[in-house]
Amino acid sequence: MASERCDPRGTRVWPLAARRSKHTIGEIRIDPDAAPPPAGDAAPQIARVAAAIRAARTQGAAVILAYGAHLVKNGAGPVVARLLADGWVTHLATHGAGVIHDWEYAFQGRSEEDVRANVAAGCFGTWHETGHYLHLAATAGAAAGMGFGEALGRFIVEEGWALPSRAELAAAVQRWAVAPEDDPAMPARAELLQFMLRTGLEGGRLSVPHPFAEFSLTAAAFRLGVPLTVHPGIGYDIIWTHPHASGAGLGRAAYLDFLALCHTAMRLDRGVVLAIGSAVMAPQVLEKALSVANNQRRQRGMLEPVRPFIAVNDLAPAAWDWSQGEPPPDDPAYYLRFCKSFSRIGGEMVYVRADNRAFVHHLLHALR
């Protein structure tokens, strides 16, 4: 017997402009060319990470930066964008909130809301433009063979999307129904048609200005051709409160991003993984991507597993020396997923306890 479900059409949404946001770009933005704050005790470790990145890039290996939303909310997007432009970082990976805040800054120049007050008022996350446009970008991108990160970057840079017509999509679905073939994009085209019917969208050019696009890390990755993959969870992010939410569309786009991460992971031998403020997504997704990479490398006769240099940056106290191996199960450090999982996937791991703003800012200056 099916469970009873909430009808998303019964959820009210408000214009994003009506929300009281906590911060503006001007308040948080870090100038990449400014002097970074003191690094303190983290200085030797930052120098060690910089040396590992230099060595990786000299050998043509990949450098993946996996980050949580606070890196964006703390204004470090322009610093990371400079790392991309200078060729030090070759792949970005984040979760849903990592691109949601970035998009809101690009769209309206401000982001963040009062969780406590808005959950109680029933308006946490129920902002029309954020949910509508991010699901549209993911669904339209998936129908065009793009992952979520690439599609959203294109949506910001091109300030909108050229949608196929409903008739064009319906005809494609009908042709497939008559003569089915293995076409992974077909379900995405059907979902885009459903999204357009549900939201009243017609085909053609949809213009969505992004006046603050120059500050967007997602946009910078798209302009520079650097993969930015998004690894969300259904129900994790504010866009799932929206009546227009599309599990199929976003799921397809996110799966394409996971495949892109697996492809990059194949070039991580002697490469570098930077995990900044992502205690769950980064270790959980990367361990699976590395398993896929090692699986396919072995089938090509490459029997040695990928062993990247891993730098984990967070503010939690360093309760265990991970260079000594894994702590016993009765030690609380054993349950620190962001260290334990990374310690198990091979390679050398270093934990850097520092503010993420200071970490990436010093890393940029050390590399330059």
Average pLDDT over residues 193-215: 96
Burial, 183: exposed, middle or buried (Cβ in 10 Å; 0-12, 13-18, 19+)? exposed
Beta strands in 241-290 (DSSP E): 272-276
Rounded distance between C-alpha atoms, residue 217 and residue 276, angstroms: 15
Residue 228 contacts residue 150 (beta carbons within 8 Å): yes
CA dihedral sign, ordered 45, 48, 54, 56 = negative
- CATH 3.40.50.2000 fits domain 18-367: no
Cα 223 from Cα 131, distance rounded (Å): 24
pLDDT digits (tens, 9 = 90+) for 112-165: 999 999 999 999 999 999 999 999 999 999 999 999 999 999 999 999 999 999
Q: What is the pLDDT of residue 323?
A: 78
CA 9 – CA 11 distance, rounded (Å): 5
Region 257-277 average pLDDT:
96
Paired residues of 91 in beta bridges: 64
Strand stretches in the chain, DSSP E: 23-24, 63-67, 91-94, 110-111, 160-163, 204-207, 228-230, 272-276, 309-314, 349-353
Instruction: For residue 201, give the amino acid letter.
Output: L
Q: For 3-29, what is each residue's pLDDT tens digit?
A: 899 999 999 999 999 999 999 999 999
- Where are the domains positioned within the chain? 18-367
**What would the pLDDT profile of 291-314 be if each residue is shown by its tens digit?**
999 999 999 999 999 999 999 999
**Distance in angstroms (rounded) separating the CA atoms of residues 208 and 152:** 12
Question: What is the tens place of the pLDDT at every residue in 68-101?
Answer: 999 999 999 999 999 999 999 999 999 999 999 9
Query: For residue 293, which of 270, 262, 272 has the smallest C-alpha distance?
Result: 262
- What pTM was computed for the model? 0.95
How many whole angstroms separate alpha carbon 120 and alpha carbon 274? 36
262: Cα separation from own chain's centroid: 14
The pLDDT of residue 106 is: 98
HSE-up of residue 161 (Cα within 13 Å, Cβ side): 27
The token pair that represents 226 in the structure block: 């650097």
